[in-house]
Chain A
């Protein structure tokens, strides 16, 4: 009997969905967009916080460095990235005080990748470019002039004592200069 009701229900509902939604899939947008706090109280009105299916992605907005065609986003889970990068690295690890985590350093031919631990999972902490065979997504390599960096990344960086930093999402990229030329480039995750 249940099946019968269900089949009636399903059939009718499909028709109705087509009529009502004109095939539209983006349903949850308005509630989400109308602002954090109020949206929350409103969601509670129906009796529950609606379990919306869209989980936020951790590394949505951060610098991504690409090495040999493999993307290395800051704050992204490290295991998969390291696996893709292959075996050509030397490895170093250092447990933090009181075993609260493990700093891992993977040294490849042209880059160094560092990871940190959070909730038992490793995340990309930093990438350091070691030589001029690799370039940032914006085309900057070691040896580039200060002007080239500023032309590529803009003037709104944080000036440091020995270089400049640009922040994007929960990551920043640093260029270290000596005599007007880039001697080091690092990507760093901001761990929150």
Chain B
């Protein structure tokens, strides 16, 4: 545009008008795209809320001495409120649906940018996956992460064949096709989202007793994939560097099947690195789990009462073995937790109300999917 002035021509009115129009168009386009990107991205507010979990962490104000990493076997099975109420443990579950081992590793890197916990608890089920699995799970884990080298590395490690980095950088390119599927929820939550977890714990208060599971399929090879084991090794080293105690656990649920041969390999790893590995499948009786009432989906995940039992049990282990602060004594942290507990209790009440009214949950889970 400066060409016009250079040639000695006067800045005519129409030239100014054009420049304004071009500048205005650029601004208008960028603003519209920014808004549309927010509008078109899935909100994960109803039914499928798992995509909201990762970003919710950044809103949590209090310090966390225990960080849980893993998939639904942590975020549905451990009540963070129980851990606080019973032991004063301030914890956060950085869980997401089908979180793969490298995603857990990079989430730990990400977490370390904000705080350094004393203990990291990693659930080992995801070790069975050595390769990227599914775009929709990737999205739920990755889209909520704040931008950092960890996020980029995590995306690169997670992408399936059909995915591209550019679609993560500009989610608009990925989600523009949702224009015909937008719901009221999408418009409602363009700029703000409702809270869906209590420090990463996703509550389900309904009950569906555990049934029989089919026999596991025999495998020709039980070796856990190299990729996931390498990331476990990296996770161990990262914890070492930061003086964090790493604890490996297997949640007490039975499906997907956790083979003995896998269990042995994790045991070996733990022994070789001098870290604990606890398979809670063997401790179901000890923690008092009654799978006729402590699960909401026939034994795949624990419900609220199950999650409180498991939290109570694992919390005891944690305070026995690690030097954790009892944050109930600290007014400022306890004050923050006060809010979390309030949210937790009101959520429990709301779910119980629906259960007594309908006999099932309508605003959460499969029934709530729009």
Binding site for B on A (CB under 8 A): 92, 94-100, 105, 107, 112, 114, 126, 128, 158, 160-165, 174-176, 183-184, 186, 188, 192
Contact = CB atoms under 8 A, between A and B. Distances in A.
Contact of B137 (A100, A176, A188): A100
Interface residues of B, number: 33
B50 A97 contact: yes
Interface in B99-124: none
Given A92-B211, A114-B217, 8 more contacts: A92-B212, A94-B300, A95-B297, A98-B97, A98-B98, A98-B140, A100-B137, A174-B218
B360 to A, nearest CB: 15
A175 to B, nearest CB: 7
Interface in B206-220: 211-215, 217-220
Considering residues A100, A186, A192, which has the most beta carbons from chain B within 10 angstroms of its beta carbon?
A: A100
Considering residues B136, B211, B213, B221, which has the most beta carbons from chain A within 10 angstroms of its beta carbon?
A: B221
Contacts of A165: 220-221
B222 interface: yes
A129 to B, nearest CB: 10
Contacts of A186: 217-219
Contacts of A161: 220-223, 261
B98 A175 contact: no
A107 B217 CA distance: 12
Interface string B133-165: 010110010000000000000000000010000
B34 interface: no
Contacts of A97: 50, 71-72, 97-98, 137
B366 interface: yes
A99 B369 contact: yes
B225 interface: no
B124 to A, nearest CB: 16
Interface of B: 47-48, 50-51, 71-72, 97-98, 134, 136-137, 140, 161, 211-215, 217-223, 255-256, 261, 297-298, 300, 366, 369
B214 A105 contact: yes
A112 B214 contact: yes
B111 to A, nearest CB: 21
- What DSSP secondary structure best describes chain B's contact surface? loop
Contacts of B98: 96-98, 100
A94 B215 CA distance: 14
Considering residues B136, B218, B297, which has the most beta carbons from chain A within 10 angstroms of its beta carbon?
A: B218
Given A97-B137, A99-B47, A192 B221 contact: no
B221 A99 contact: no
A72 to B, nearest CB: 15
Nearest to A185: B218
B219 A176 contact: yes
B221 A107 contact: no
A175 B220 contact: yes
A118 B111 CA distance: 33
Nearest to B137: A100
A162 B140 contact: no
Contacts of B219: 160, 162-163, 174, 176, 186
A128 B217 contact: yes
A167 to B, nearest CB: 11
Contacts of A126: 217
Given A95-B297, A96-B98, A98-B48, A183 B134 contact: no
